[in-house]
């Protein structure tokens, strides 16, 4: 089995009409996962201690002060706050931390956190790219600091580079971060020469128009490095916007490619004896998002051979 974490607060984060990171994304994912009969667990709000490992208090204070009493405010051209946005982000991060606690406690070998807004673009002191809090990084740091793990890993197959995760973990020598992403594309980071303060960052950019063969080749390289890292926990930033149908990018992945990439990550984690916590990031064609999220979770929950 795979544990599922979700919360109604995800639909309280409202974006302007026509915005790709829309409320309907959450419903599309849950509808696609419904046939798997996974009983969703509620997401608690993240503890302040977990937030402060990734973001300084001054940033959190600015974010809280910016939440409007009504309507919407823009933090930048892409990133918006409504009255329910911060609660949704806090519960996305809290759900990821609860999932870390559950898998490290032996309840299951994997968990999927179906929440929004996404998080991998949120840098230590900057909200951007639809993201407010660095959910994946927060989850990884909980594994290190709360559970006392020696090493963790965050791997990211969203079509956009996880600049926020990289920023938060850049100097954290116990955390391996690896990403495939289209380049050139927003946010413009993620070149192969960006390797972290301790050589623990691995970026594999993909050319526009590339598809499954290139994806699987890249993830074989990452999976080998991941297995060598021997993490005690693997956190996945699961963005499904590399799909051929997605409107925001130009990669040509299919559901089969997401399954293949997920299997490589899953098997490398199993080889290290590490549980997996996957958190939803991008994916903006609703039908493709639902289908891709389902094959991702189905692949995570496949029994070991």
Longest dimension (CA), the chain: 52
- Phi, psi of 175, deg, nearest 5: -120, 120
Q: How far is CA 151 from CA 165, 226, 229, 264, 269, in A?
A: 16, 11, 8, 19, 12
Alpha helices in the chain (DSSP H): 24-33, 48-54, 57-66, 85-104, 135-145, 163-169, 212-229, 255-272, 286-300
State mean pLDDT over 81-93.
98
State which fold the 3-301 domain adopts: 3.40.800
**pLDDT tens string 243-301:** 999 999 999 999 999 999 999 999 999 999 999 999 999 999 999 999 999 999 999 99
Catalytic residue among 26, 121, 181, 296: 121
**pLDDT tens string 212-248:** 999 999 999 999 999 999 999 999 999 999 999 999 9
What distance in Å separates the CA atoms of residue 77 and residue 186, rounded to the nearest whole number?
Answer: 13
Active site residue 147: no
Residue 305 has pLDDT above 60, yes or no: no
Please give the model's pTM, rounded to 2 decimal places: 0.98
């Amino acid at each position: 089995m795979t544990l599922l974490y979700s919360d109604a607060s995800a639909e309280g984060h409202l974006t302007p009409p026509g915005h790709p990171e829309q409320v309907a994304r959450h419903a599309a994912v849950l509808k696609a996962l419904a046939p798997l009969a996974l009983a969703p667990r509620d997401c608690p709000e993240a503890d302040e201690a977990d937030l402060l490992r990734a973001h300084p208090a001054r940033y959190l204070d600015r974010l809280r002060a910016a939440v409007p009493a009504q309507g919407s405010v823009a933090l930048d051209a892409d990133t918006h706050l409504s009255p329910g946005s911060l609660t949704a982000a806090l519960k996305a991060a809290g759900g990821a931390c609860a999932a870390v606690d559950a898998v490290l406690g032996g309840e299951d070998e994997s968990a999927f956190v179906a929440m929004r807004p996404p998080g991998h673009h949120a840098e230590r002191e900057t909200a951007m790219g639809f993201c407010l809090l660095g959910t994946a990084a927060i989850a990884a740091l909980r594994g290190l600091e709360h559970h006392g793990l020696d090493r963790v890993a965050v791997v990211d197959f969203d079509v956009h580079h996880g600049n926020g995760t990289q920023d938060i973990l850049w100097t954290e020598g116990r955390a391996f971060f690896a990403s495939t992403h289209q380049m050139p594309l927003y946010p413009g980071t993620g070149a192969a020469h960006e390797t972290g303060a301790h050589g623990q960052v691995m970026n594999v950019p993909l050319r526009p128009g590339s598809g499954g063969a290139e994806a699987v080749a890249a993830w074989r390289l990452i999976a080998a490095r991941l297995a060598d890292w021997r993490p005690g926990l693997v956190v996945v930033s699961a963005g499904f916007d590399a799909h051929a149908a997605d409107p925001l990018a130009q990669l040509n992945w299919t559901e089969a490619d997401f399954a293949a990439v997920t299997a490589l990550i899953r098997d490398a984690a199993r080889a290290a004896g590490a549980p997996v916590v996957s958190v939803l990031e991008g994916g903006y064609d609703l039908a493709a998002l639902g289908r891709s999220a389902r094959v991702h979770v189905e692949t995570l929950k496949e029994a070991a051979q």
